[in-house]
A and B are shown apart, each in its own frame.
Chain A
Amino acid sequence: MSTAMFGAPVRRHEDARLLTGAGRYLDDLGHRALAAAFVRSPHAHARVSDIDVTAAAEVDGVVAIFTYEDLTGRMAEPLPLLIPHPALHAPRTAYPLARGEVNHVGEPVVMVVARDRYLAEDAAARVVVSYDPLPAVVGLPAARSARHAVHPDVPDNVAAHLVQAVGEVDTAIAAAPHVLELDLEIERSASTPLEGKGVYARWNSDEGSLRVYTSTQASTSVRAAVAAKLGLPLVKVDCIAPDVGGGFGVKIVHPWPEEVLVAWAAQRLAALAPEGIKWTEDRWEHFVSSAHERGQLQHVRVGFDSDGRLLGLDVTIWHDNGAYTPYGIIVPIITSTQLLGPYKPGAYRCEFFSLYTNTVIVTPYRGAGRPQGVFAMERTMDAIADHLGLDRAEVRAVNFIAAEEMPYDQGLIFQDGRPLIYDSGDFAATLDKLKALVGWSDFQAYREQARAAGRRVGIGLACYVEGTGVGPYEGGHVQVETSGKVMVATGLTSQGQGHQTVLAQIVADELGVDFDDVEVTTGDTRRFGYAVGTFASRAAVMSGNAVALAARKVRQKALRIAGEALEADPSDLEIVSGVVRVKGAPASAIPLSTVAVLSNPLRYAFDEAAKAATQFAVGDTSKPPVAEDDEPGLEARDFYSPTQSTFANGMHAVIVETDPDTAEVRVLRYCVVHDCGPLINPMIVEGQVHGGVAQGVAGALYERMVYDDAGQLLNASFMDFLMPYASEIPTVEIDHLETPSPLNPLGIKGAGEAGVIPGSAVIASAIEDAEGFVIRRMPISPSELFELRASYAAGRVPGLRRTSGERTDPRTRPGHSPDNDSPDNDSPDKET
């Protein structure tokens, strides 16, 4: 570790380029390509009875128009079900272009290829599609009622049904001294990266090969999908993720219809499109034809003792998966398992129904089901605390898994099909840090002081555990060039997180070279063909460890070759700033660039340095120039494949102020304590937390998808979809705890999603505290808070015990025994 880059707040390699407009995003490529545009369904549910392209074909500049009928071979099959699961008993995926039926507004029906996008849109506007509208299933109540079905062969709209249980929850709850029930609701939002999707494909007729650029989080897998759909050998398809302007989950889904269609058309129209075909998604398309997340209804039944300790937790979830299930049921599986957070639930049972609706598909968005699970658990914790008249932090603390209980097996199966075993964490320590950071104990006085001045303030907290670094594997390739530059490649992609910087930090340390001499390439199948993708807060854990392992191999080889050259034992050597030298005798040294030259025995010397590696320069004629178990070159690749995910955790606390007159909610303080193990680059981790918190606040106070009953998305623009501006986001105060993971060589855990996870839970907690009545539904707008206040005043929304004077700490109530506390069992906390 001569350079000690690991842990340093290094400025990002990427920024000079990206911040000065020198980034190369999808739409910066292929300026001479033809353009594709799509005719999309204006109906949420309809049969397609006829498509008339006559008028469209007459538009000057139109090259081709395709409908489902034109699709050939495997293109005519449904798009793949990426992640099958035994509980997903009725999976459905779309066709690349609608085959006789559309199931959400925005579903692609016709593809137009023209000289430019304007002409393509003009032509698309002239395509006449005749629809026979069908009843639309919009929203979870409609899906559950099953009065109408999204897919006729799935009459109950249930795509998947899964029950996981640990212990006997009914028995545990029946025996519990206290029982509460909560009905919860969380609405849709979406990843909404500033750059939408896009794909640019070019067929090379001379080579019979295809190059696909796509704004994706999984270029290796897009490559495989496109090759399969087009019937091409994998080696004839390259797939490259250029600079990607944000993903947040939506770009892990693949292949999108447009990805295969543009690639297919590029091959089919090769003679007419020598520069390829490009499609850049516009904002409206992104809203109605990519993916959303978060929409769930939840019912919680919880039994607990008088200290607030969970005895039995029974959760039922109705999850809105939209029109199709290409990404399987990852989101509700994560909700139902990560719901447990840092707690021991006693007996636990979680049942979910994943339901079809005639809306945009639901696939992971940063947090990926965790925000909903944390919402359920943390609303429950607050309800327990209020019911018992206990401090909310205290109730959480009594339920924590202790640090000495790690690793801790929750007894469930996680999203990767492996046991849910927490590897590390010290939750009590995290809570202590958070309480100190936000001033938890002093808040009571502050609240009373504010109230006396006519202000309403409240404090909330929420805890989460996040499985990160999910497998199966990532790989890395590290090559020292004869210039001394170190070229690193990993297959997973970057969407702006800073992988080029972080991976370079790791390799610089492992290899003993300068950070500036390391250049990292991500997401380019020409450089690295095996990868899974960037999601699940996994890039640093997976590719970080993979490049570290590859760098260690390179280091070993460099020491061996240098040892031969310096006639020294490799164990006596060190590498400092790109120079291999004898420890304690730095004059006896050889630069890595020279080692790279020596690693590759040459017949031809192409420059002065290369002469050193030619056949007449290299010594021992009794040995083959390349040993039997060796390879030329100072390079190596390696893979990291863990047995299970690693579990990061954190806790957030916020202080909000609600305007007594306008019901505006202002976040006065937002505090985060976060444990992702050792920080590779604290500045990048904090940036990740800031961005995550921004999306958490967004989901709690601003963003939602407003569908009308007919399935029209009413706010499909940034004018009406209220992605917050910087002006809406509070200053984020961060403290870290660094408990290393025992699972990987670097001891690290993921950090990408953490900031977003408890957003709705913690803000609901604080609003509830400020207002004195229960909050069961998020997000919440000022208008909704205003209406809730009216409902509370009218007695339709229950108040908190702690503010309505019903404080009844059963431990201190005279004559209390669990047996006579039965009213709890009969007065479940009803839906608001």
Chain B
Amino acid sequence: MSGGRITALKPAPFGYSAPASLAEALAVLAEVGEHAKVLAGGQSLLPLLSMRLAAPRHLVDINRVPGLDRVEIVDGSVRVGALVRHTDLERHEGAAAAQPLLRQALRLVGHPTIRNRGTCVGSIAHADPAAELPGVLVVLGGRVEASTAWGSRQVPAAEFFLSPLETALRPGELATSVSFPVAGPRTGTAFVELSRRRGDYALVGVAAVVELAPDTSISSARVGLVSVGPTPLLVDLSEVLVGRPGGARELAAAAALALEHAEPEADIHASAQYRARLVEVLTTRALAQALANASHEEAA
């Protein structure tokens, strides 16, 4: 949002509905379609409205819709409903055990007051390329459930993020849940980021997932990079790491490979060269932590 020219800190007029059921919410969305914005936690939407950077004609407040606030571990995934707050998921022991990367990333999302209101699905639907959870969804290969009055579809992470603040959600669709695959055996994860202030969007963030073979060599490794491209980037590092123990030189090669895929740009907070350096440093750190966690899993 750097450099946006603001003209007021009061929202433009908008219509407002607060449906009491999912069916009602979907019916309203079907009616107002592209002119609608969904209000869940409001942590990104309300500032945009106040700055008049967004002026939707209609807000559909889903906070009264029952059944969207559940965290479930089903079919090999952690399924997170559209009203699950960051804090709820962060503190969910079952989710943390099933997929440690969630808690690792969530503790870096904003501040406690933001996490108390902001929703995980909202953060993903907002699709800020610097946000943590989109990176998590991409690196884990999760999916988004998009619902309409006529049914729902599952959108894979790889197809969900189109460009900054733009997703594959269609007018009239509501992201009712996201699903994060649970971690496999001998798998370690880590989320490492550097932000100027604690809780800020990252200058660069790296989500890493490393799986070990029974002989403790690396069987797969990938990272999700945030804040170095228009969408969170998935980089498969298997070609330089599979079959290897993950020593310093190998991690450096993996970091270099990650950087090849990154598109660091300059902004008022960091030069492109600095961001590029951070991709390497933070990828190395994230992989090392993920490896350590995988080894810990192995030992456990």
Enumerate chain A interface residues (CB-CB to B < 8 A).
37, 40, 42, 117-118, 121-122, 124-125, 282-285, 661-664, 702, 706, 708, 712, 714-717, 719-720, 722, 724-725, 727-728, 781-783, 786-787, 790
Contacts and interface: CB of A to CB of B under 8 A. Distances in A.
B197 interface: yes
Given A284-B9, A662-B277, A786-B271, 12 more contacts: A118-B11, A122-B12, A125-B8, A662-B278, A664-B194, A717-B1, A722-B196, A727-B198, A781-B269, A782-B274, A783-B271, A790-B273
A122 B55 CA distance: 12
Interface string B206-223: 000000000000000000
B12 to A, nearest CB: 7
Most buried by B among A662, A727, A790: A662
A663 B60 CA distance: 44
A708 B51 CA distance: 20
User: 3 smallest A-B Cβ distances: which pairs?
Assistant: A282-B9, A727-B198, A783-B274
Given A712-B3, A719-B1, A782-B274, A725 B8 contact: no
A42 B7 CA distance: 9
Given A121-B10, A284-B51, A727 B273 contact: no
B274 A714 contact: no
A702 B197 contact: yes
A715 B2 contact: yes
Nearest to A117: B10
A282 B13 CA distance: 18
B273 A787 contact: yes
Nearest to A790: B273
Contact of A714 (B3, B7, B10, B12): B3
Contacts of A283: 9
A720 B268 CA distance: 8
23 contacts: A42-B5, A118-B11, A121-B8, A122-B12, A661-B281, A662-B281, A662-B282, A664-B194, A714-B3, A717-B6, A719-B47, A720-B1, A722-B196, A725-B199, A727-B197, A728-B198, A781-B270, A782-B194, A783-B269, A786-B271, A786-B273, A786-B274, A787-B274
B6 A722 contact: no
Contacts of B197: 702, 722, 724-725, 727-728
A702 B268 contact: no
A109 to B, nearest CB: 12
Contacts of B273: 786-787, 790
Main SS of the interface on chain B? loop
Contacts of A790: 273
A190 to B, nearest CB: 16
A34 to B, nearest CB: 15
Most buried by B among A42, A125, A702: A125
Interface of B: 1-3, 5-13, 47, 51-52, 111, 194, 196-200, 203, 268-271, 273-274, 277-278, 281-282
Nearest to B196: A722
Nearest to A120: B10
Contacts of B13: 118, 122
Nearest to B275: A783
A722 B203 CA distance: 13
Nearest to B194: A662
B248 to A, nearest CB: 13
A603 B279 CA distance: 86
A781 B274 CA distance: 11
A720 B2 contact: yes
A716 B51 CA distance: 11
B262 to A, nearest CB: 16
Nearest to A704: B268
Contact of B268 (A661, A663, A706, A782): A706
A124 B8 CA distance: 9
Contacts of B9: 282-285
Contacts of A118: 10-11, 13
A663 B2 CA distance: 23
B265 to A, nearest CB: 12
Contacts of B200: 719, 722
Contact of B277 (A706, A722, A727, A786): A786
A661 B194 CA distance: 12
Nearest to A42: B5
Contact of B198 (A285, A716, A720, A725): A725
A125 B9 CA distance: 12
A345 to B, nearest CB: 37
Nearest to B11: A118
A702 B281 contact: no
Given A284-B51, A662-B278, A720-B2, A727 B8 contact: no
A715 B198 contact: no
Nearest to B268: A706
B137 to A, nearest CB: 23
A702 B196 CA distance: 8
Contact of A716 (B6, B10, B12, B194): B6
Contacts of A717: 1, 6, 51
B135 to A, nearest CB: 18
Nearest to B12: A122
A478 to B, nearest CB: 43
Nearest to A280: B9
Most buried by A among B5, B10, B199: B10
Contacts of A121: 8, 10
A664 B111 CA distance: 21
A712 B200 CA distance: 23
A566 B61 CA distance: 74
A782 B5 CA distance: 26
A727 B274 contact: no
Contacts of B111: 725
Nearest to B274: A783
B51 A781 contact: no
A722 B11 CA distance: 24
A113 B131 CA distance: 40
A275 B204 CA distance: 51
Contacts of A37: 8
A778 B273 CA distance: 20
Contacts of A715: 2, 268
A712 B274 contact: no
B82 to A, nearest CB: 25
B271 A787 contact: yes
B194 to A, nearest CB: 6
Nearest to B282: A662
Nearest to B1: A719
A129 to B, nearest CB: 12
Contact of A781 (B10, B11, B196): B196
B237 to A, nearest CB: 19
A716 B199 CA distance: 19
Most buried by A among B2, B273, B274: B274
A714 B6 contact: no
Contacts of A724: 197
B278 to A, nearest CB: 6
Nearest to A727: B198
